[in-house]
A and B are shown apart, each in its own frame.
Chain A
Amino acid sequence: MTILLQGFEGPLFDWSWVRSHLTSEIIPALVGHVYLSFVSVAIALVISLPTGVLVARYRKAYAPVTLVTGVLYTIPSLALFAILVVVPGVGVGPKAVIIALVAYSLLVLIRNVVAGIDSVPPETIDAARGMGLTEGQILLKVELPLALPVIIAGIRIATVTVIGIATIGAYIAGGGLGALIFDGIDRSFPTMVITGAILATALAVATDLLLLGIEHYFRPWARAAGRRG
């Protein structure tokens, strides 16, 4: 490609750079990005599942929990990173990025756990109780499995959000695909910027579609209804 651009020397996209940096820079950045996003959503899920179950039982806690997580969700990521790096014991690096990504996931995950449990019909729970299931069994064998598609929908939204915000984490040395974007901007080298941006977009869209597929898989009744319908 030989398109020349204002402010840049050389071509818009230099394939030879991609070929020569594929294993040394591009793939490690992609793997790092996946790892950062996965760890963050996993930690957020460990927090949100019990919180969501508790909040579904004690309704009074729902408003304060969504207010706090909602405010966290609204804070622009660069601002949250800036606040986190000055917290003693955090500093720049993947730790601050993971804390921020966990914070951003909480609202969506908790809200969907609660909505998922709410979606279970009361008659189903009555039937389970009538069959002699204990409260714990009802939660694990009836409520959570039936809530699963809604919970997975939450995981999907949280993961896609986290993949997007993780790119900004590279600014505070979190690594991942954002590092290609920021290095490319610093060096006025569009190839790196485009590679990082396209891969981050592709990763987010592919993850979205993959989790959407999984969500449908865990909705067997919807599939059955679809066949019948």
Chain B
Amino acid sequence: MKLSCWMDDGIVGMMLLLSAATMAGCQQVVSIDLNKANPHIVIEGNVTDQQGPYVVKISKTGNYFEPTLSFPAVTGAAVVVTDDAGQADTLRETEAGTYESTTLRGIAGRTYALTVVAEGETYQASSSMPAKVFIDTLYSVYRPSGRGGSGYDIYITFRDPPEPGNYYRLNATSSRPIPSDSIDGERYRLYTDKLTNGNEMQERIRAGDNVLVGDTITVDLLAIDQASYDYFNTLRDILQSDQAATSLAPANPNSNISNGSLGYFAAYTVDTRKIVIR
């Protein structure tokens, strides 16, 4: 769990209270002239303990204000994933910039290595898949009032293993399309056992009115390694840039890929549970 996030929440909260107290504070859209950086390679690779194929995507950066969700694909790359038990799989390019495994099987406890040769440069990364951690319970509670108004709270419990150094990511999605890709708008729900080692963990997601009776909520508990946690944690820092007022100078996330590539390569286990809101 990242304490500084709560601190930030608190500080933003204080700012809001202060603004309210001074009857002030406003926001406006402004025009900012940003440089156009040279396109830079982005590699995104995942290996899980679920059935493959596992996907590695290779693309390039674009201009910041350009209205698009499609970015230049890097094609014709040589992409190989190996593990420390002797598996090796050369990934096939199934569409431009998307490379899929054929034989690889992700197994908890093993370490996976990625090698990409693209446009004359070689990029390497490795990631260890931790032991699997299972969701113990998943339930919802209707809250008639309180902060954020009425609505459903989703509770997830799981037990942290006795040895320290566990890292987690939780994803919660709904069967019904909602504006955000998470049921409460929280994009990266990350946890460490720094302060909670070996304990029963209980996490609450305040879904509010994003969740209605009849919706199916899917929760994935990912056990990730430290480097992946570090990556997603620093990624979250810059994506929550609406807190930039108090945060330090932003920087690209701490990637585990060599040779200056953006993106990450992560091996992790996934435990999925579903609940239907009644």
Please indicate whether A and B come from the same complex rather than being unrelated chains: no
- Interface residues, chain B, with chain A CB atoms under 8 Å away: none
A interface list, Cβ under 8 A from B: none
